[in-house]
Amino acid sequence: MTALLTAEFRKVLGLRYWWILGIAPLVVGLFCGALTLPVMRQVEDILGPGFAEAAAAAVGISFALALVFLFAALFGVVNTGGEYQHRTVITTFLTTRGRDLVIASKYATAALFGLLYCVIVEFVSALTILMFGGGFSGADLGGIAGVLGTGLLCAVLWALIGSGLGLLTGSMVGSVVAICAWVPFGELTVSLVLHGIGLGGVAQFLPAQVTWYALFGVVDLSGEAEMPVSWPLAPLVLIFWTALICGLGWWRTRSRDLT
């Protein structure tokens, strides 16, 4: 397993997509951290003390995390679906003792790179808030730490979702289009349809929505806000979606005829 992980990391580091996918969330993290806290301080007198730091974490850093989750999923797709596009998957399986170890190494690699993306973006976002906004108050450090910690978990899960989807479809392009269409548009459309037919309660458990419930659920911006899906149910639902897609990807890869 160690040899497979080493080979997988060398394969990823030998290509450029791993750092290209990290540029966009990093740049957004720089600007979000620098701009959100000063703006929120202007309305702190109206909304109450301590609001600025909590809002900066929940809005500024979370906006950067939105791109982290998306690009972590895209990394997972490219890392697995690319094997099918370039027809290297047959060689990869033939040089190992079984498909299970290959799949596990790909999932582990995706999770580690998703975590790496999130750590870097969170560090940059928090650092710029400290530099341009004057820092955090002690009362809000717990909520901010909760947002950052939940972001790390969600980034890992979305990287695994992308990786599982790439294995399930066997198509890098198709999976990339599916991820890019589903997150900003597809889930919203499905949610509106479900609400229209009286199944709005189901819509709140869709993966992108439950991600935000998990993220925002650890910080209370107004003292009265209630998440439709609260902790710890929200992250558990996201873990369920991750396990489902990764499980389907694992099953499809084991049963797919590669000849």
Q: Residue-wise pLDDT tens for the chain (259 aa)?
A: 676 666 666 776 666 666 676 676 777 666 665 556 555 555 555 545 555 555 555 566 777 788 888 888 988 888 888 777 777 777 777 777 778 888 888 899 889 988 988 888 888 777 776 665 555 555 456 667 777 888 899 999 999 999 999 989 888 888 888 888 888 788 888 888 888 887 777 888 889 889 888 887 776 555 555 677 777 888 999 999 999 999 999 998 888 776 6
SS3 227: coil
223 with 250: CB under 8 angstroms? no
Distance CA(234)–CA(231), nearest Å, equals 6
Give the amino acid at 177. V
**Quick one: which of 177, 204, 212 has its CA closest to 73?**
177
**14: Cβ contacts below 8 Å, ≥ 6 apart:** none
The torsion defined by the Cα of 110, 114, 147 and 195, in degrees rounded to 10, comes to: -60
Q: What is the pLDDT of residue 248?
A: 94
Distance CA(170)–CA(85), nearest Å, equals 8
120 with 26: CB under 8 angstroms? yes
* Residue located via tokens 């309305």: 43
pTM: 0.83
Q: What is the pLDDT of residue 185?
A: 85
- Residue 55, burial from CB neighbour count under 10 angstroms (0-12, 13-18, 19+): buried
Q: What is the pLDDT of residue 158?
A: 94
Sign of the CA dihedral running 65, 70, 75, 77: positive
The torsion defined by the Cα of 117, 122, 127 and 130, in degrees rounded to 10, comes to: 170
